Amino acid sequence: MSAAAQIPQTALDGHRQAPKLTTKTVNPDLIREACIQAIKRDESAFKRIDVTHIAETTDSSGSAATCLVDARIFEGSGVAATLGTITTSAAQFSVRVDLSTGEANVARVDEAAAREAAQVALASMFIAMKAVSTSPDKVTYASTIAGKKCMVDVTTQGSGEPKRWLVGRIDCKR
């Protein structure tokens, strides 16, 4: 809060008035903290959110502030215990704080999931794959990409729990 807002105001009749809170007197650290707390409401024993970057702006009317928050999200049984699995993802949040009420609205943009969806869409347009060998824990695909013949092995071996498909080998030849 600014020094001017902390000084009690005296009315013409000599009585003290409480300082009026305007957006010019709202400490940016308080706005950032309100944004962080709004995001962390989603935390649980199996989910932890670590903020990596935050930037705040106040709208032109001075009635609301918006924060763009970059964060790492840790989910899984290992979050609350010393043993277990943890899945890590990057996310961006947009938080709008009403400066008169303190109410915060959070919207999440999971950039990693968006990137994966874009990659799948591009791959489906430009890469034709055919499974040439399959088993419950390993699949080999053949494909022609930019004039190169490629073989890709994906496997669940060594992926831990939950089972995820990991690339075991990529071999491309002209």
77 and 151 fall within a common domain: no
Per-residue model confidence (pLDDT) at position 115: 86
164 and 131 fall within a common domain: yes
Per-residue model confidence (pLDDT) at position 153: 94
Q: Are 85 and 70 in contact (CB under 8 A)?
A: no
* Residue 16 or residue 38, greater confidence: 38
pLDDT digits (tens, 9 = 90+) for 120-168: 898 888 888 899 999 988 999 999 888 889 999 999 887 777 778 889 9
Per-residue model confidence (pLDDT) at position 3: 43
72 and 131 fall within a common domain: no
- Enter the pTM of the model: 0.53
- How big is the CA angle at 170 (ends 169 and 174), to the nearest 5 degrees? 150
Per-residue pLDDT band for 111 (boundaries 50, 70, 90) equals: confident
1 domain residue, yes or no: no
Pairing type for strands 87-98 and 138-145 reads unpaired
108 and 159 fall within a common domain: no
pLDDT digits (tens, 9 = 90+) for 52-103: 999 999 888 888 999 999 999 999 888 888 888 888 988 899 999 999 888 9
13 domain residue, yes or no: no
The mean-pLDDT minimum among 11-25, 33-47, 93-107 falls in: 11-25
25 and 106 fall within a common domain: yes
Contacts 24+ apart (CB under 8 A), 80-83: 80/45, 80/46
Looking up residue 53, the CATH number of its domain turns out to be 3.10.450
